């Protein structure tokens, strides 16, 4: 067991950031951590690393109780932050050597490890260039590389693909899969549900400080498999119609995305006439239904669409 969190509580004043939160993570797993803003994802990450104390419950990392003071735990963790934590006036090589030194690598170890990481992150031939000249995707790769110098057993990646091009995003996703196949355990948070679908072996959906669902993608989708997902496109939408649709007893959830109403209804229940009665004043341009995916699981369980929280 790489990480075990049991009944963890964390308060910030009157705000309960983690509420009897539980999480287990085994070697080689990629855990996707999803949740709307304020769900407690960042607090969870900081508690695992030991950056903040918890008020109640237990956390162990690598089988060692996490009290925030154990340097051995931190040496075995790599942390890829959402904000870039690299020095743009320095070169790729100097950035990697600096962060490797912070993790205690000797000059001899760095002389071997830095070229290896440069190759891994695909920046060969650019190692002497200043980072400020790089694209967002290249900076993200370097940010990841700085967390890999010491070959961590646990890699925590907090929104690692924010603001980058599709090619760099695909590179990072394939990279995550490769790391996991070699035994690295990865905790991955993202506002892009399709990324979590692509890389996670198990998924935790958080809301209001606790896990509301967890399991494999197949298991989570099975929880709502009986639901029907109706997509209705209109020429000009009205937010006032959301409350009217939610007032229909048979409807489980409604989300408005631009000019599209996404309506969740239990399978086998016919409410289309009631939906049309509510939307009769609007010009309907398209009606569709679809099979559920992870985004639908998130919508059904939290009443939100994750991309709206980004």
Residue pLDDT, tens place only, 158-197: 988 887 888 888 888 888 988 898 899 999 998 888 888 8
Q: How far apart are CA 53 and CA 226, in angstroms?
A: 42
- Position 204 scores a pLDDT of 92
Q: CATH for 226-291, among 3.90.180.10, 3.40.50.2300, 3.30.70.100, 3.40.50.720?
A: 3.30.70.100
20 — pLDDT class (breaks 50, 70, 90): very high
Task: Classify domain 3-220 by CATH architecture.
Answer: 3-Layer(aba) Sandwich (3.40)
Residues of the chain with CATH 3.40.50.300: 3-220
For residues 38 and 87, the model is more confident at 87
Q: How far apart are CA 259 and CA 57, in angstroms?
A: 45
Which range has the worst mean pLDDT, 85-94, 125-134, 258-267?
Answer: 258-267
Give the Cα-Cα-Cα angle 120, 123, 126 (nearest 5 degrees): 150
8 — pLDDT class (breaks 50, 70, 90): very high
- Position 309 scores a pLDDT of 44
Mean pLDDT of the 196-224 span = 88
106: exposed, middle or buried (Cβ count in 10 Å: 0-12, 13-18, 19+): exposed
Helices 107-120 and 136-146, axial angle in degrees (round to 10): 140
For residues 305 and 87, the model is more confident at 87
- Position 308 scores a pLDDT of 44
pLDDT surpassing 90 at residue 64: yes
> Per the confidence metrics, is the pTM higher than 0.75?
yes
Q: What would the two tokens of residue 102 be?
A: 């912070």
Q: What are phi and psi of 51, to 5 degrees?
A: -80, -25
For 190-296, list the strands marked E by DSSP.
202-207, 210-215, 227-234, 253-257, 260-266, 284-290
For residues 304 and 23, the model is more confident at 23
**Percentage of the chain modeled with pLDDT above 90:** 49
304 — pLDDT class (breaks 50, 70, 90): low
Q: How far apart are CA 253 and CA 297, in angstroms?
A: 11
pLDDT surpassing 60 at residue 310: no
- Position 233 scores a pLDDT of 92
What are the tens digits of pLDDT across the range 25-44? 999 999 999 888 888 999 99
Residues of the chain with CATH 3.30.70.100: 226-291
């Amino acid at each position: 067991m790489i990480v075990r969190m049991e009944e963890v509580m964390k308060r910030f004043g009157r705000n309960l950031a983690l509420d009897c939160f539980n999480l287990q993570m085994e070697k080689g797993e990629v855990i996707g951590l999803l949740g709307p803003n304020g769900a407690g994802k960042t607090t969870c990450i900081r508690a695992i690393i030991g950056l903040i104390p918890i008020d109640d419950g237990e956390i162990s990392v690598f089988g060692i109780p996490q009290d925030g003071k154990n340097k051995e735990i931190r040496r075995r963790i790599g942390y890829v932050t959402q904000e870039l934590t690299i020095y743009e006036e320095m070169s790729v090589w100097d950035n990697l050597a600096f962060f490797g030194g912070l993790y205690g690598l000797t000059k001899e170890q760095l002389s071997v490890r830095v070229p290896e990481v440069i190759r891994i992150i695909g920046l060969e031939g650019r190692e002497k260039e200043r980072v400020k000249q790089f694209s967002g995707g290249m900076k993200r790769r370097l940010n990841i590389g700085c967390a890999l110098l010491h070959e961590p057993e646990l890699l925590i990646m907090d929104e690692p693909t924010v603001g980058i091009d599709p090619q760099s995003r695909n590179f990072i996703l394939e990279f995550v899969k490769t790391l996991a196949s070699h035994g690295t355990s990865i905790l991955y948070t993202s506002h892009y549900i399709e990324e979590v679908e692509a890389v996670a072996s198990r998924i935790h959906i958080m809301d209001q400080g606790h896990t509301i669902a967890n399991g494999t993608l197949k298991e989570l989708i099975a929880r709502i498999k009986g639901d029907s997902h109706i997509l209705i496109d209109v020429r000009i939408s009205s937010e006032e119609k959301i409350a009217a649709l939610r007032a229909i007893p048979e409807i489980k959830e409604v989300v408005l995305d631009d000019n599209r109403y996404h309506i969740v209804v239990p399978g086998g229940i016919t409410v289309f006439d009631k939906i049309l009665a509510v939307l009769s004043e609007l010009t309907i341009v398209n009606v569709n239904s679809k099979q559920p995916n992870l985004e639908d699981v998130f919508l059904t369980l939290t009443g939100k669409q994750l991309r709206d929280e980004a």
